Amino acid sequence: MRALGPGRSRRRSGRLVGASVLVLLGMPSHAAEVSVAVAANFTRPAEAISAAFTALTGDTVVLSFGATGALYAQITQAAPFDILLAADNERPQLAVANGFGVEGTVFTYAAGKLALYSPTIDVSDGPAVLAAASFQHIAIADPLSAPYGRAAVETIAALGLADLLVPLQVTGQSISQTLQFVDSGNAELGFVALGQVSEKPASQVWVVPAAYHAPILQDAVLLKQGEANPAARAFLAFLRGPEATVIIRQYGYDLAQ
């Protein structure tokens, strides 16, 4: 029998480790597809996590982004999503209660942070900037459909600035549109997800203290559409694993304690 050289031994070991990961995650050996509805604030980390998952498994991830409320409305109308990554911890539980989600599959994949962002104003002292109100428009996401919008409303109220700022508010249908309002100059500043602006200079971002609003716990759920899809279960297992955890933290999110 011919002995394997060091290079071939390492390559074989690497293949065995990769196969072990696939078995542990319950991933199929053939390429498959998983459709994931993703809260708009989680766009960038979801793209990075999906790329890493595809690199490991060969499975394709189809991402659809939007406000959590709007995505849930689509799910109730039989939208073909396998998984919901919500921006709150309410809709996934509601999905299970109403027969759209699989019982026992809900978990918190990230804890979000709210940020005040402006590309033109130094907002490092956020409360002072807001109290001065030296701007014409401030953008927030729709508080009825976007949890970050609700957190923005709570923050403004906690600062005692509702009467001052409500007349200046412009409302985005999602947190992505809210960011677009600010970046396009339609609003000089706005409340967005820290994950959207985590790479911006410190002077452009004020991270809102958690005490100013209710926790933004972002939950995932396997939907009935994906119950029989092994790739969907594998994606959720990957989302809870160490590689995805690193990406989640990289984009300014915490993990639930």
- Domain ranges within the chain, ordered by starting residue: 6-111+216-250, 114-207
Q: What is the DSSP string of 42-74?
A: GHHHHHHHHHHHHHHH--EEEEEEE-HHHHHHH
CB 213 within 8 A of CB 155: yes
Along the chain (257 residues), what's the average pLDDT of each consecutive run of 10 residues? Answer: 40 36 49 94 95 97 93 96 96 98 98 97 98 98 90 98 98 93 98 94 97 96 97 98 96 83
Gap between the Cα atoms of 192 and 221, Å rounded: 24
State how far the Cα of 122 lies from the Cα of 109, in Å rounded to an integer. Answer: 32
User: What pLDDT does 40 receive?
Assistant: 87
Q: What is the per-residue pLDDT for 2?
A: 40
Q: What is the CATH number of domain 6-111+216-250?
A: 3.40.190.10
Its CATH architecture, for the domain 114-207, is 3-Layer(aba) Sandwich (3.40)
* pLDDT given for residue 64 in this prediction: 97
User: Is-same-fold flag (6-111+216-250; 114-207)?
Assistant: yes
pLDDT of residue 8: 39
> How confident is the model at residue 144, as a pLDDT?
87
Residues in the chain: 257
Cα 146 to chain centroid, rounded = 12
Write down the pLDDT at residue 143. Answer: 92
Confidence (pLDDT) at 7: 43
Pairing of strands 83-85, 33-39: parallel
